[in-house]
Amino acid sequence: MYNGNRIAVVVPAYNEEGFVGRTIETTPSFVDRVYAVDDGSTDGTWDEIRRTARRLNADKEKAMVADGGHRDGEFVVPLRHETNRGVGASVKTGYRAAMEDEMDVVAVMNGDAQMDPSILHRFLDPIVEGRADYAKGDRISRRENVGEMSRWRLFGNHLLTSLTNLSSGYWRTVDSQNGYTAISVDALREIPLEDVYDEYGFLNDLLTTLNLHDFRVVNVPHRAVYGDEESGIVYREFVPRLSGLLLRNFLRRLAARSRDARYVPAVLAYCLGVVATCFGAGSVLRAAERGVRRRDSSGLLRGVVTGVCGAVLFVLGCRLDARAAEPLETEYAGERFEARDDFDSE
């Protein structure tokens, strides 16, 4: 229990033998339930989850009996997918279990032991205090938190964040692929959870869904931590899939927001910008082809001007979009993050 709220933690894990047990063991004492979800692992992840669950559940039961009480359900609930369905599907399985058990706030701490459990309260505070509905980690907005993140990884993170901003409509949200999150169960009950993407684009898709339901989001700064585990992302598959998802979400959001007076100016600017840019690009190509034969550059100039006007309109749409979304983005008001010397993912 945390400030009168029942807290659950979802631990999604795929081939995290040697890491997932530690993730479960180090959850803070105020956590009421841990849903450890094995996503069809091919190593000893499931056995490690069950061993850890048996031990911790027995310890919790003994402690409750000693205090003259009795636990309402298991502390660690092992859940398993028979086949690998994706990290999003694992988180959704945990979310559904938390809703069934009438939890109040659900956090996600991946089974790779990269997320510092001692700062979990920083994700919970904005939600239990009523300032936000969804809190997500942020490793990149403060230089001191970047830590061991490589320049290439940092560049990719910034690029994906910018695309996710455009797609989701949360323009101040950063570190879009950060899986350290917390969400209110009230928000979960209002969104179409089953429709949210099952794979690595889950976080991006969830943000768009939350935006369309006008839920408030806050970034929680924390340092980047990396251990010995290897990423399971296959980039030649991940990048095209995520790019398509972000484009679909952008179009889905525009269609939905076209009926919302707050966003109509932004939608108009976006649409006019895209049309003008495409028309200008087409004019440039046609004029360039004709100009080679006729040495006439007037059509080329018109195309360039039209394309530039289209780009300006699109940028204007971004600005109007961001202004309309300002009430949905909460500033982090918690304590300044200081790196812990005693937390190590290894």
pLDDT at 191: 98
Mean pLDDT calculated for residue range 315-329: 97
List pLDDT tens digits, range 72-97.
Answer: 679 999 999 999 999 999 999 999 99
Task: Point out the least confidently predicted range of 239-243, 280-284, 299-303.
Answer: 299-303
pLDDT at 341: 41
pLDDT at 271: 97
pLDDT at 232: 57
Mean pLDDT calculated for residue range 217-243: 74
Q: Is the dihedral of CA 62, 63, 68, 74 positive or negative?
A: negative
pLDDT at 68: 52
pLDDT at 6: 98
CA distance 193 to 108: 15
pLDDT at 292: 53
In 195-297, which ranges are continuous DSSP H helix?
202-212, 235-257, 264-294
Q: Among residues of the chain, what percentage have pLDDT more than 70?
A: 85
pLDDT at 95: 99
Mean pLDDT calculated for residue range 173-180: 93
pLDDT at 285: 84
Mean pLDDT calculated for residue range 247-252: 97
pLDDT at 62: 78
pLDDT at 300: 77
Between strands 329-330 and 217-221, the pairing is parallel
pLDDT at 264: 98
- Tell me the three state secondary structure of residue 233: coil
Interacting residues of 74 by C-beta distance below 8 A, sequence separation 6+: 33, 53, 57
- pLDDT surpasses 90 at 170: yes
Q: What share of the chain is helix, strand, coil (3-state, %, to 5)?
A: 50, 10, 35
- pLDDT surpasses 60 at 39: yes
pLDDT at 342: 45
pLDDT at 337: 47
pLDDT at 64: 64
In 53-180, DSSP assigns E strands to 76-81, 105-108, 134-138
Q: Is 326 exposed, middle or buried (0-12, 13-18, 19+ CB in 10 A)?
A: exposed
pLDDT confidence bin for 339, thresholds 50/70/90: very low
Residue 265 or residue 294, greater confidence: 265
pLDDT confidence bin for 32, thresholds 50/70/90: very high
- pLDDT surpasses 70 at 70: no
Q: For domain 7-256, is the CATH number 3.90.550.10?
A: yes
pLDDT at 340: 44
Instruction: Quickly count: other Cβ atoms within 10 Å of residue 77's Cβ.
Output: 20
For the chain, the average pLDDT equals: 89
12 pairs with which residues across the strands?
A: 37
Residue 42 or residue 61, greater confidence: 42
Task: Point out the least confidently predicted range of 22-26, 118-122, 286-290, 301-305.
Answer: 286-290
pLDDT at 67: 57
pLDDT at 158: 87
pTM, rounded to two decimals? 0.88
